[in-house]
């Protein structure tokens, strides 16, 4: 009996050897798949930023206050963040292709219904539905793309994905401003219709279910409930904590407690159940948990710049949304080009070297931005944003590739979901922390600068008299002119304090990104993350 078994083994080996090269070439339609999934991801990323530009018009059209209209963004973010870690399980339960196409349809249909909404409550409801569909677009796109390309081209796959993810936030404000100014705010949602249809049709035609997916035999309702409660509460705290003065608000303290206790309960539940909706066990891989930690740090540092820069351009330098987009565009192009380059370099060089280079270039850009003033123009941002774009490309591609390198095909969807979730959570922490520090730094700098403005100071007297004379020349009486001059002087003081505060934020962003370098010591040496993905002990 030994001989037949040996012959059978040899035959199996020959078949495996014949099939391996074919499988190693990836999907024959990999570039078409790349275009389709990046289109879906780009639609979601653009929509996340395009709405903010149109909020003032929505307020006027729907008769909503600032706090009320904020739920148009908050509702979407809450829904999408809750869905992101569930995407791996949902893809296995419904079938990845069916779930992906269904999510695009839900996102696109909800977009149309958002544009057709005539009340704030309807708009918020459909934004939540849109978030439920949009949460899958980023994570499932990444998993599909990673499987469509052979492992040696993983860097190229992540570079293609990064193009949509990183360029989208730059396109969003410009496109949103143009659509809102020329056609009205509903068109920021209607624009998703043709894009969504094209993406859904292409994915239905070319994307296939993973051969490794297995439908869960049971539904972990407790895990889903704990996820929704804990993540929803924590995300609300991060979104509204600064506005409600953090721990001075009983609501914020209560939700933070719920979020933390619920998070601990969620992890315990998922590690002890046989059919978890979130498989935290994938974090047992060294590359996975180290890469996720690095992703959180990168998310905090990255959002410190991405969140504050458009605000500075529009509030301090008084640029329009379209002008802001034009200023940011060269950086987006630099990101695209650097990702295309790094996608090829990832298979040839130690990714830790590429990430280190990216962190240094990104930190240089942040340091250059810390030198901005209230008189800076668009040209002053050109080279800092070019450097930021190059640094971002050098960090994003190898870090994503290394993080997912040790995962088996069955673990990949869960790993992508967790990595995306924690990177998003890091970004939320970054935005919340930066908004708080920005307000605190501005208050501190205003007090410091105010100490130098006294009644007997010759420079102050000269400045105040000049402003008063200007007001009188415009027709104001002496008393009114004096009050307006004092108010204007105070605004100028706050403006200067704000500029200094932004500079401090960018120095902090540089320090956070540089923190990636020592953390890279936790990453094991690799033979090129885009190559065979072998981890060297």
* pLDDT tens, residue by residue, 405-450: 888 878 888 888 888 888 877 777 777 787 788 888 888 877 776 6
CA 388 – CA 343 distance, rounded (Å): 17
Whether the predicted pLDDT of 12 surpasses 70: no
Task: Specify the DSSP class assigned to residue 452.
Answer: T
Q: Looking at residues 274-290, what average pLDDT do you find?
A: 86
Task: Identify the residue with better confidence: 390 or 335.
Answer: 390
Token readout for 126 is 């459909």
pLDDT on residue 91: 85
pLDDT on residue 360: 93
537 with 530: CB under 8 angstroms?
no
How does residue 110 score in pLDDT terms, banded at 50, 70 and 90?
Answer: very high
145 with 137: CB under 8 angstroms?
no
DSSP H helices, 404-515, are: 412-450, 458-473, 478-514
pLDDT on residue 254: 92
pLDDT on residue 459: 67
Instruction: Look up the pTM and report it.
Output: 0.76
pLDDT for 119-167, tens place per residue? 888 998 999 999 899 888 888 887 888 788 887 777 777 777 777 676 6
Whether the predicted pLDDT of 536 surpasses 60: no
Q: Looking at residues 344-369, what average pLDDT do you find?
A: 87
Among 61-75, 76-90, 418-432, the minimum mean pLDDT is found in 61-75
80 with 202: CB under 8 angstroms?
no
List of residues 6+ apart from 416 with CB closer than 8 A = 87, 88, 139, 140, 142, 143, 146, 404
CA 393 – CA 402 distance, rounded (Å): 14
């Amino acid at each position: 009996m030994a001989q037949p078994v040996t012959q059978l083994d040899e035959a199996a080996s020959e078949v495996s050897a014949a099939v391996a090269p074919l499988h190693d070439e990836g999907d024959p339609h990999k570039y078409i798949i790349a275009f389709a999934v990046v289109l879906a991801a780009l639609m979601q990323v653009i929509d996340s930023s395009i709405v903010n530009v149109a909020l003032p018009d929505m307020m006027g059209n729907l008769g909503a206050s600032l706090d009320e209209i904020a739920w148009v963004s908050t509702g979407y973010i809450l829904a999408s963040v809750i869905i992101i870690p569930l995407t791996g399980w949902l893809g296995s339960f419904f079938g990845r292709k069916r779930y992906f196409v269904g999510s695009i349809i839900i996102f696109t249909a909800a977009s149309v219904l958002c544009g057709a909404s005539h009340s704030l409550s309807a708009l918020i409801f459909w934004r939540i539905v849109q978030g439920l569909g949009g949460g899958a677009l980023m994570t499932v796109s990444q998993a599909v793309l990673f499987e469509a390309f052979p492992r040696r081209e993983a860097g190229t796959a992540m570079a293609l994905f990064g193009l949509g993810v990183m360029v989208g936030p730059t396109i969003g404000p410009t496109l949103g401003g143009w659509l809102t100014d020329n056609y009205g705010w509903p068109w920021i949602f209607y624009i998703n219709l043709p894009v969504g249809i094209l993406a859904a049709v292409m994915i239905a035609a070319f994307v296939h279910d993973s051969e490794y997916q297995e439908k869960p035999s049971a539904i972990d309702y407790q895990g889903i409930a704990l996820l929704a409660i804990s993540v929803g509460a924590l995300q609300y705290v991060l979104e509204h904590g600064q506005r409600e003065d953090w721990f001075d608000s009983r609501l914020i303290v209560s939700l933070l407690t719920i979020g933390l206790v619920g998070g601990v309960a969620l992890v315990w539940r998922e590690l002890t159940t046989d059919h978890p909706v979130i498989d935290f066990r994938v974090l047992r891989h060294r590359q996975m948990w180290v890469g996720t930690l690095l992703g959180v740090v990168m998310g905090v540092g990255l959002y410190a710049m991405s969140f504050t820069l458009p605000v500075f351009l529009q509030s301090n330098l008084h640029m329009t949304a379209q002008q802001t987009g034009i200023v940011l565009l060269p950086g987006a192009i630099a990101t695209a080009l650097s990702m295309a380059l790094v996608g090829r370099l990832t298979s040839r060089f130690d990714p830790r070297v590429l990430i280190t280079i990216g962190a240094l270039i990104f930190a240089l850009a942040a340091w250059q931005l810390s030198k901005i003033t209230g008189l800076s123009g668009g040209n002053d941002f050109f080279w800092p944003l070019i450097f930021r774009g190059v640094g971002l490309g050098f960090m994003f591609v190898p870090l994503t590739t290394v993080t997912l390198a040790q995962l088996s095909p069955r673990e990949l969807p869960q790993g992508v979901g967790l990595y995306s979730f924690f990177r998003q959570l890091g970004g939320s922490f970054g935005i919340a922390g930066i908004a708080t520090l920005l307000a605190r730094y501005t208050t501190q700098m205003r007090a410091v600068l105010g100490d130098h403005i006294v009644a007997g100071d010759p420079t102050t007297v000269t400045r105040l008299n000049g402003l008063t004379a200007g007001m009188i020349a415009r027709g104001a009486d002496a008393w009114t002119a004096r009050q307006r001059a004092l108010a204007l002087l105070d605004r100028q003081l706050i403006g200067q304090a704000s500029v200094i505060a932004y500079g401090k934020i960018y120095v902090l962003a540089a320090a956070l990104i540089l923190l990636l370098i020592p953390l890279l010591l936790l990453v094991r040496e690799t033979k090129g993350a885009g190559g065979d993905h072998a981890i060297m002990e």
